[in-house]
Structures are given as structure tokens and as C-alpha cells.
Chain A
């Protein structure tokens, strides 16, 4: 019997799944079919450090969320941080963000804060 590849998950982390696993016994080898649909290419590049010191809010229309966002705007302004006055609206928290809005936000050079949860 040939040695099977050992793939060890890191402690406390989600492992990067193998693309393919080969199984061999005494008489034959066959591939195991990867069941996981993977993005091609990667759909998003997340930039963790904004290039401009500015904050843009997006509302998810959760209960009381707009009130919380308005308060947050004021707190940030009191601390001297530039905040976009217009709060963009995603419409429905449970649905995917529309591509047009996602495209707009991907061009934002400041920090984007998306929504307030429950």
C-alpha cells in the first residue's frame, strides 16, 4: 500500500481544503472528487488599510440601524474624522449586496463600514 498524503488542519483555524485527494489500496488508485465549488478567480480583494482618512457608512435596514449609524457619524466627527454625510442603503440585510453597490464601494478609498447587525 502506498503512503497517503497526510493533510493536517492547523489548530483552531479553517484549513485550506485540498484540491484533490488520491486514494490507493492494494489493487488500484482512484481520485476522490472534490465536492467544494471554489471561486475562480477570487471575487474580492480586501484592503485592510484605507488610503484616505475618511469613513463611509452603508445601512442594512436593520431595526434602529439608521439611528445607530447617525450617532456613529456624529461621534466620529466629534473626534475629527471625516465622515461622508450620505449613508448608502443596501435595502435588505438578508440578501446579497447588489453588484452595482459593491462596485461603488470597491472604489472607495476611505474606510467602509457596512451595516449594523441585530
Chain B
């Protein structure tokens, strides 16, 4: 690498064009190549934050993709992901400023996982793989650049979590229950990218249970500790990551809908205990739907629970990922083979 390039990296870092890690300098010629890969024109307006007087142009997203280290062949995926990121329903500005430890989790599902070389086996939630690392980093950099970096917003996260650097999960291309995106109404054979705001993953260990119910009860218990953010507002939901060894047990007895219903029914805590522990406000607002004496689910409804199938065989682990309570939508977009304006219309209204 030429020394000039190292100096360019330093200049980017010193100018605030960074997420804290070194970036690929967004040279105009390279950004143009990324624009071609996404099918955007440089001046296309791809997002807007009217209250902040901020307009997001395609050139800025393409520059961010280059800086994050994304390969050009990710272009179609990045375009769909950007559309999801900048959809007002995702509330990306809320993720930037909340005291809660929220980051943007990206889920990639369908044939694109193999086509672009995403890691979906070993260490699937923190894969040392270019596709996972850079696509996840791109999403976080978009949050940062549209938020604090432009000078309008200030972050207030109390402790945050490591996913604010990069958090991208790829699902197995072949699944027991169907691709992740089928839960949002996108066809099984399609490729898709989803984004949502979440807390960090909780590892869920059960090595000695030998029934599906034991595994689901363990997962449900993990959702029900006192410290879960969900207890009061219940407006986020959870993502459950099931790895192959647990899936082999669960899928013998449960379909995805049955597992969802089982956890919703069984994973509960006594409301009065939650109140005693200070997990419910003394004078709850109506939205919280607090019923004294009732067994309370951390889910407002069963459809707030979605499942991802990934991870390696050879260990009986799953994971529970609480979604941030301030973002009620999972934004999913189908990935078109060739980026085109039509991808903007894809999957409109498929949020959950």
C-alpha cells in the first residue's frame, strides 16, 4: 500500500469519517464503481430526515459502503439494505440516541448467503468473514453518519453493546422451518435482507435435555429474566437463534408456528413479582397493559417472536436476542439479482 493511502486513512480518521476503526478512503473513482454496483446515480435522494433538515444522497451511502470495506458484488444487497435502513419505520435516529443498548442487526437469508460467501455456521453471530463483517459495519456506519456524525443528534447509550461496530447474521441457506424472510411474507426461494434494532445476544445453553419442550422452555426462561427490557413496554419482541443441535430436537416435534405459540404461552412471569422487583412502573401507562396478578409474557403478541436458523453443529446452544423496545418494525427487503428502481417497491408493508 502506498504511503499516500495510509495518509488518506489518517485524514479520514482525523476528520470524523470513521466508526473508530480505519476505513478504506472513499476515492471518487471507487465510489463511482460502487454506485454502478448498486444501480444508483450519485445525486439520487435515497432518504430524508425532515426534522433535521438532512437529505441522504446515494453518493454518501456508496462512499460509506466503500469505507466499510464492502466488495462491489454486494451492490444489490447493499441497495436493498439501505432502503430498509432509511425507511422511517425503522427509526434509525432512535437507535442512535437511545439510552438502551441498541444496535442495528442485519439478517441475510436465502441463496445470497452462499453466493456472496457469508458465514452462517461457526460463530455465526460474530463471524470473522468479510461479507458478515463489512455489511454489518456498513449498517452501523450509516446509523452513525446519519446521526451523530452530521452534528444533529447526540448519542446517550448507557452501556451500548459490541454490535454497534458490526452485527450481521447470515442464515443457513437450507433451513428446517423455511427461510427467515418467509416470516415477513417473502417467498422461500428469494434472497432477502432484514434489519432491526436489537440488544446483544444472550447465549442459551442446554446440553442435557432430550426433548423439544426442554429446549423451548430453556429459551423461554432466557427471555424471562428480571433484567429483560421488554417487561414494561413490550413493543420490541425477540429474535431466537436456533443452532443445528437444538434444531434437530425441536423440529422433530414443533413447526415454527407451534414453537412460537409454545414460547408465547409458557414463557411468563408473575406480574406482581415484576412490580415488586421494580420492573414495572408504579403507575403504569395504559399502553403497557399491566394486569395485576396475571402471568405476564415479555411479548405483547406471539408474532413479535421470529426465528433464525444458523450456527455450527457440535454444541447445544441457541441464543435469544431482545429487540429494542423503541423500534417496532423489522424491515425486510427482497434482494433483486440486478439492482434496479423496482427494488424500492419490493416487500413494501412486510414489516412485523
- Assess whether A96 is in contact with B60, with CB atoms less than 8 Å apart: no
The 6 tightest CB contacts between A and B, nearest first, are A94-B326, A63-B281, A17-B16, A35-B63, A33-B63, A18-B15
Taking the closest CB of chain A, its distance from the CB of B231, in whole angstroms, is 10
User: Once the chains are docked, how many angstroms separate the CA of A108 from the CA of B282?
Assistant: 32
**In the complex, A95 has a CB within 8 A of chain B:** yes
**In the complex, B200 has a CB within 8 A of chain A:** no
**In the complex, A104 has a CB within 8 A of chain B:** no
Q: What 1/0 flags go to A107-118 for Cβ under 8 Å of B?
A: 000000000011
**Could you tell me which B residues sit within 8 Å of A by CB distance?**
2, 4-5, 7-8, 11-12, 14-17, 25-29, 31, 47, 49-57, 59-64, 67, 91, 93-94, 98-100, 141, 145-146, 148-152, 156, 158, 232, 280-285, 287, 324-327
Q: What 1/0 flags go to A34-65 for Cβ under 8 Å of B?
A: 11111111110000000000000000010110
Sample 10 A-B pairs with CB under 8 A, ordered by A number: A5-B11, A21-B17, A24-B4, A30-B27, A33-B59, A35-B67, A39-B54, A40-B54, A43-B152, A63-B281
- Assess whether A17 is in contact with B99, with CB atoms less than 8 Å apart: no
Given the interface pairs A36-B145, A39-B150, A39-B151, the reply to whether A17 lies near B17 with Cβ below 8 Å is yes
Taking the closest CB of chain A, its distance from the CB of B7, in whole angstroms, is 5
- Assess whether B51 is in contact with A43, with CB atoms less than 8 Å apart: yes
Q: Is chain A's binding surface mostly helix, strand, loop or mixed?
A: loop
Q: Which of B4, B91, B287, B326 has the most CB of A within 10 A?
A: B4
Q: Which of A82-118 contact B (CB under 8 A)?
A: 92-97, 99, 102, 117-118
Given the interface pairs A25-B4, A30-B29, A33-B28, the reply to whether A94 lies near B145 with Cβ below 8 Å is no
| Residues on the B chain within 8 Å of A36, using CB | 16-17, 60, 145, 149-150
- Assess whether B285 is in contact with A9, with CB atoms less than 8 Å apart: no
**In the complex, A6 has a CB within 8 A of chain B:** yes
- Assess whether B51 is in contact with A99, with CB atoms less than 8 Å apart: yes
| Residues on the B chain within 8 Å of A43, using CB | 51-54, 152
Taking the closest CB of chain A, its distance from the CB of B326, in whole angstroms, is 3
Taking the closest CB of chain A, its distance from the CB of B66, in whole angstroms, is 8
- Assess whether A9 is in contact with B145, with CB atoms less than 8 Å apart: no
User: Once the chains are docked, how many angstroms separate the CA of A96 from the CA of B54?
Assistant: 14
User: Once the chains are docked, how many angstroms separate the CA of A102 from the CA of B51?
Assistant: 9
- Assess whether A117 is in contact with B17, with CB atoms less than 8 Å apart: no
Taking the closest CB of chain B, its distance from the CB of A16, in whole angstroms, is 8
Identity of the chain B residue whose Cβ is nearest the Cβ of A18 in the assembled complex: B15
